[in-house]
Structures are given as C-alpha cells and as structure tokens.
Structure 1
C-alpha cells in the first residue's frame, strides 16, 4: 500500500480516537457519574492487556528494567491521568482542553528551574499568548467553578512534572514510549486499586445498577484509550514532529466543536478570543522549536506536548 495512504490512515485514526476518548469520558461523567479513579484504573489495566497483545505480535519488545526505577514515574502517571480526568469532569470540554495548553509553559519553567535548561527569547515570547489565552478563557467561562479550576491547575502541574521526568528517563533507560508504558500501566493500575477503596464509594459502585450501555461505554473508553497510544506511537516514529504538531492543533479545534455540539457548551466571544490567543501561541511555539531544530517532547494526547497516555 502507498506510504502516503498508510500515513494518512494512521493520522486519521489518531485524530478520531483522540477526539472520541475525550468526548466519551465526558459523556460517562455527565450521564453515568462513573467513579473517576475507578475509570482510570480500568483504562490502565486495559492498556496493559493491549500492550501484552502488541508484544506478542512483535509490535515492540519488552526491555528489562529495575521495577524500583518506575515507582515514582507510575505515581506521577496516576496523578496526571486522574487529575486531568477530574478537570474534564468538572469543566467544559473547551476549558479542559485550553487549560491543558498551560502544560507547555509549565514544562519550560520546570526545565529552567530544576535542570538549568536555557531557552531562546522567541520561545519565551510565545508563552505569553498561550498563558494570556488560558486566563481569558477561564475568566469568561460561563460554567466557571472553583473546584474545576483547582483540578485543572493541579493537572497541569503534575502533567508537566511527569513529562519532564519521562523525557529524561526515556533517554536514561534508552526505552521507547511503549516500553516505558508497559511498566507504567500495571504499576499505576495496582496503585489506584489500593486507593480506590479509600477515595471512592466502592460499595455503591458494585451495588449500583449499571445499564448495559453504561458498561459498554466504559469498556469502549478503555479500548479507545489504548488505540490512542498505539496510533500516537506509530505517528511519532513515522512522521515529522511538525506533522504531528499540526495534527494536534486540528484535534484541539475539533474537540472544541465536539464539546459545543454534543454537550451544548456555548462559548462567549471573549472565550473565543482566549482560545484563539492560546492556539496562536502554540502554533508559534511549534514553529520556533522546529526552526531551532530541537526535539519536542512526544505528544500522547491532543494539542500540546503530551505524556505517554491519552485521557
């Protein structure tokens, strides 16, 4: 099959899966109120099962590593997935998506503080419209709420911490994203299995009469989450960072449209201005980084630089 056709096929699948997982999770939170941490735990277990199947099919090979090296990474992995899902549950899809864009400036600040990494003046300037855009969107969000803002802020911080760590560990261990995820997913699932009885009403979860549709949607969300990772991994390896970045921008815009159509989320004109500012900043940031011939942290969600797991 023609290489361009194959690439286009995987790009289309990645865009579709990335949009579906966010909208699917939002649907679950609105219509079933399925426990957030339990849902994340299910996603981790299903991702691990999918990775085992991929390993058996020689999609990637497992690389041996001391499990102790992965414990703290797995903890931050749990943190960013759970917190970003809580942000999605308590914010509109638009605000959730825009808030995640703060990950880019947050990662840069962390690298400057903890690793003394230097960035050019143009990179720093691109962070201004990103940050201003997010602030404007939050300020004028008609569904603004304090708890949603707290979850979004914590989610950005933990996600940024995870990205900085995983980027360094990937180089240190000489492992690709799927090899790392093979260890992270089961470790994180076990960690959440331990905390679920403490933080969520397990009794109500088991006794609640979930409909067949509810259960299908939960399982489907786990399957889709895995395929987001699989297609992202393929794209990162087979296309240029610029191509993948542009795909991220398209997912950003389509998710805003999907949230508006499916969940009747109305955007105020000032929110549109904020979103536009953020998107312009992200595009300028990608352009400057490409021009400098630097490697952008792999994106495994939509829009900005991303972790190794799609939520």
Structure 2
C-alpha cells in the first residue's frame, strides 16, 4: 500500500472513531436527559452499572463469536482501573449535587490541565507553545459558553477535586494499559466492564439513595421509562467502546480537548430544538473560540514537535551518542 493511501486510511479511521464517539455521547446525553428530567429516573449510578452490564454482555457475545481474542491483564491493574473509574462516576455525580452548575463545568474543564500534568510527569511528553495555547483557547471558549453561576463550598470543592483527579487518572490509565499490555479496545473493555458492572450494581442503589433520598427498587417503572433505560444501555455500549477506541488511537488529552466538540454540539442541538433561549452573544462567542481552539490543537499537535514523548537512552547509548537526548515524535497517532 502506498504511503499516501495508508495515511488517508488512518485519517479516515481516526475521523470515524471521533464521529462514533460524538454521536453516541450526544445520543446518550439526550436519552438520559429525557429519562431523568422528564420521567424522574434520577438513579445515575445504578444506571451506569446497567450500562456496564450491557457492555459486558456485548463483550461476552463478541468473545463467543471469536471477534475478541484471549488477552491478559493483571488483577492489580484491573482493580486499580475499576477503582479510578468508579470513583470518577460517583465523584462527578456528587460534585454536580453539591456544586453549582457553573462550578461543575469549571471542574470538568480542569480535567484537561490535570491530564497534561500526568502526561508530562508519567509519559515524559513535551508540548509545543502552539499546542499549549490551543488548549488554553479551548478551555476559555468552553468556559465562556457553559459557565454561568459559580458558587462553591468546602465539601463541594473536595468532591470536585476527587472527580477531576479520578477521571484524569482513569482516562490516562486507559491509554497506559493499552500500550503496556498491547490490548485492543475490545480486549480492555472485556477485562474492565464486568468489574465495573458488578461493583456499580452493588453500590449504585446505596449511592443513589444517599444522593436522591429515593430507592431505585420502589420507582414506578412504566413502559416508556423501561424503553428509555434499555435505549440508554444500548447507546452506552457504543459510548464505552468509542471512548477506549479514541483514547487508544490518540491520547487522553486529545480525547478531552476534541471531546468538547460534544459540548458545542449539545448546545447547538438545544438551540435548534428549543429555540433561541439560551443562545446569546457570549455563548456564541464561546462556541466560536472553542471550535477555533480545537482546529488549532489538531493542527499544532500533529506537527513535528507539537507533542513529543521524550525517550532517554541507556547509559551505553548515551556514551555512544555523547549524552545527546533522543526524542520520538508521538503526534497523537496511537493505534
């Protein structure tokens, strides 16, 4: 295959992965909004457990059909991942309950700089000036169009900090495990989904009762509510899989930066379906800044030196190369 056609094929697969994630993520937001806001099903943690139970079922079927080959993930690594992932889910729900919507949005934006810090510290990644500036522009744009009222207290600040760090660690860990153990997205999901499903289905009802003072087992499950729960679970399979695919192909930072495209899309769909209320000058300005920042990030991070992983030579290699530091361009092209 010619180099040009290979690059074009990779670009098409990358675009398909992003589109898959955007469509499923926006779809599940819309379905869950109808389920929770319209029909009163406010048991988010238990619902997430059902999502992972459905995902587990999907991976078992894929294994049975031979599409997922046997792979290995050490139990300590699995336990660590499930801990971070579940703490992220509970932390985000508690942060939303204890904080204003504005501060909750600010906390979500903080995931990007925390991920950058983790990549610099753990992966020895170096960012160019343009890459850094593009990330800042995305953060400013999303903040302008989503952050309104900002109020916080000590317990809300603690919940937000736990949510941000656990989410960043979980997403960084996805990329780390795929690289370290040569795991594909299906393989990693096959290892992690059962543990998350089991733990969330056991703990979820208690966490939801603590958050809402309502019991999931006494809820009035009408046919329409059941339909939305099933639809949410089906879409969640695609959301979970597409997240692993995107982080595996790119990095957690890129997933977060370009992932804010979903925020812009949700705002746009809200304007199209619900009229002009909610859309004003500063929201439109923020959306424009965020989109410009995303395009800038894509261009800056893909250039040589835009985002590099520093590779240090062994002592013998350093002697041969007179102590010169070699660097390997990462270019966000993880497969």
TM range (shorter): 0.7 to 0.9
What is the match of residue 204 of structure 1?
A: 215
Residue 17 of structure 1 pairs with residue 24 of structure 2: yes
Q: Distance in 2 between matches of 1:115 and 1:234?
A: 19
Larger Rg: 2
Q: CA-to-partner distance for each residue in 1:138-182, whole Å, 9 max, x for gaps?
A: 54x3x66659x8677654432222122222222111112221111
Residue 122 of structure 1 pairs with residue 158 of structure 2: no
CA distance 1:105–1:247, change in 2 (3 Å): closer
Q: Compute the displacement of 1:294 (Å).
A: 2.6
CA distance 1:44–1:234, change in 2 (3 Å): closer
Q: Compute the displacement of 1:10 (Å).
A: 8.1
Q: Compute the displacement of 1:12 (Å).
A: 6.3
Q: CA-to-partner distance for each residue in 1:97-140, whole Å, 9 max, x for gaps?
A: 8975553333112222455432222222222212322433354x
- From 67, 76, 81, give the equivalent of 2:84: 76
Q: Distance in 1 between matches of 2:333 and 2:109?
A: 14
- From 276, 296, 309, give the equivalent of 1:284: 296
Q: Distance in 1 between matches of 2:21 and 2:299?
A: 22
Q: CA-to-partner distance for each residue in 1:22-54, whole Å, 9 max, x for gaps?
A: 111222221223301101111111111111112
Could you tell me which runs of 5 or more consecutive residues in structure 2 were left unpaired when the two chains were aligned: 1-7, 305-328
Q: Given that residues 127 and 285 in structure 1 are in contact (C-alpha distance below 8 angstroms), is that contact kept between their aligned partners in structure 2?
A: yes
Q: Given that residues 45 and 186 in structure 1 are in contact (C-alpha distance below 8 angstroms), is that contact kept between their aligned partners in structure 2?
A: yes
Q: Distance in 2 between matches of 1:69 and 1:245?
A: 23
Q: Distance in 2 between matches of 1:226 and 1:77?
A: 16
Residues 183-262 of structure 1 aligned to structure 2 (within 5 Å): 183-201=191-209, 204-230=215-241, 251-262=262-273
Q: Distance in 2 between matches of 1:237 and 1:113?
A: 19
Q: Distance in 2 between matches of 1:158 and 1:45?
A: 21
Q: CA-to-partner distance for each residue in 1:243-268, whole Å, 9 max, x for gaps?
A: x9999676454322223345666133
Q: Compute the displacement of 1:184 (Å).
A: 1.2
Q: Distance in 2 between matches of 1:157 and 1:126?
A: 22
TM-score (norm 2): 0.69
What is the match of residue 49 of structure 1?
A: 57
CA distance 1:46–1:11, change in 2 (3 Å): same
CA distance 1:88–1:19, change in 2 (3 Å): farther
SS where residue 72 of structure 2 aligns? coil
SS where residue 127 of structure 2 aligns? coil
TM-score (norm 1): 0.74
CA distance 1:122–1:235, change in 2 (3 Å): closer
Q: Given that residues 189 and 241 in structure 2 are in contact (C-alpha distance below 8 angstroms), is that contact kept between their aligned partners in structure 1?
A: no
Higher mean alpha-carbon deviation, 74-83 vs 165-174, is at 74-83
Q: Compute the displacement of 1:186 (Å).
A: 1.1
Q: Distance in 1 between matches of 2:333 and 2:52?
A: 22
Could you tell me which runs of 5 or more consecutive residues in structure 1 were left unpaired when the two chains were aligned: 300-311
CA distance 1:156–1:109, change in 2 (3 Å): same
Q: Given that residues 73 and 165 in structure 1 are in contact (C-alpha distance below 8 angstroms), is that contact kept between their aligned partners in structure 2?
A: yes
**How many residues of Structure 1 are paired with residues of Structure 2 in the alignment?**
288
SS where residue 296 of structure 1 aligns? coil
